[in-house]
Amino acid sequence: MPMYYIGMQKGYKISDKLIWFVKDSGGYVRMKDLKAANFKTQTIKKSVADNELEKIKAGLYRLADIEDVPDMSIGFIDTVKAIPDGVIALISALHYYDMTTFNPSHVYVAVPHNKRAPKLIYPPLRVFYFRKRFYEPGIERIETPYGDVKIYGREKTICDMFRYRKKLGEDIALEALKSYVDYKHSDFFKLMQYAEICQVKTVIQPYLKALVG
């Protein structure tokens, strides 16, 4: 029996039924599913006001006290739930891999250049529109209890940072490259493959040569 049906028993409040429904839906739920389950808009708004639910974007909610995932930001999960084509990228990906000392206040996400990311209430985003040749390569998937999170791998992320070095800071790109050189599973051939894809091979090569010797 689905968990939220427990709330149908006598003595449970409507808000309890709503929370059980969201839990049974995996912690995230869309407005259309709430309406299909006969929850009223007023009940949903009250649960948001009472900090029982978080509104991620128009039509998407999650439990406010959702269980944390080890080594994974709930903000990353919120982002990919709200933007199915979104890929965690650039400084956010560096932060995930412990390749930067910079602590971003936004989630950096890449989406295909022919799509438009919706406006999120939370978390704050910096959206980058990648053309197909830059968007598709290097996507990895990290499994979580709430679904997969798409994120670019280390090598692709470094090369993207050099593509955006003038906008995001060459110092952050260089810090990431230095961190990668010290990474025990570094693969310089793979790094150069992505550097060629990202059209930054001639930029990265001199720095890499100086670091490796």
Does position 21 have pLDDT exceeding 70, yes or no?
yes
Residue 146 within a domain: yes
The pLDDT score that the predictor gives to residue 159 is 98
- Same domain membership, residue 207 and residue 177: yes
Does position 1 have pLDDT exceeding 80, yes or no?
no
Kindly report, residue by residue over 191-200, the tens digit of the pLDDT. Answer: 999 999 999 9
Residue with tokens 């427990």: 6
- Same domain membership, residue 125 and residue 170: yes
- Same domain membership, residue 185 and residue 130: yes
Return the SS3 of 213: coil
Secondary structure tally for the chain: helices H, strands E: 11, 8
The pLDDT score that the predictor gives to residue 6 is 41
The pLDDT score that the predictor gives to residue 16 is 84
Q: What is the mean pLDDT of the chain?
A: 92
The pLDDT score that the predictor gives to residue 15 is 76
Could you say which DSSP state residue 9 is in? S
Give the Cα separation of 135 and 94 in Å (integer): 17
- Same domain membership, residue 106 and residue 198: yes
From 19, 44, 63, the end of a domain falls on: 63
Kindly report, residue by residue over 36-57, the tens digit of the pLDDT. Answer: 999 999 999 999 999 999 999 9
Kindly report, residue by residue over 63-101, the tens digit of the pLDDT. Answer: 999 988 998 999 999 999 999 999 999 999 999 999 999
The pLDDT score that the predictor gives to residue 13 is 62
- Same domain membership, residue 94 and residue 132: yes
The pLDDT score that the predictor gives to residue 213 is 73
- What mean pLDDT do residues 163-169 have? 97
Residue 68 within a domain: no
What string of DSSP letters covers 68-136? PBTTB-HHHHHHHHH-TT-EE-HHHHHHHTT--S---SSEEEEEETTS-PPPPSSS-EEEEEE-HHHHS
- Same domain membership, residue 193 and residue 114: yes
pTM confidence score? 0.90
The pLDDT score that the predictor gives to residue 47 is 93
Does position 28 have pLDDT exceeding 80, yes or no?
yes
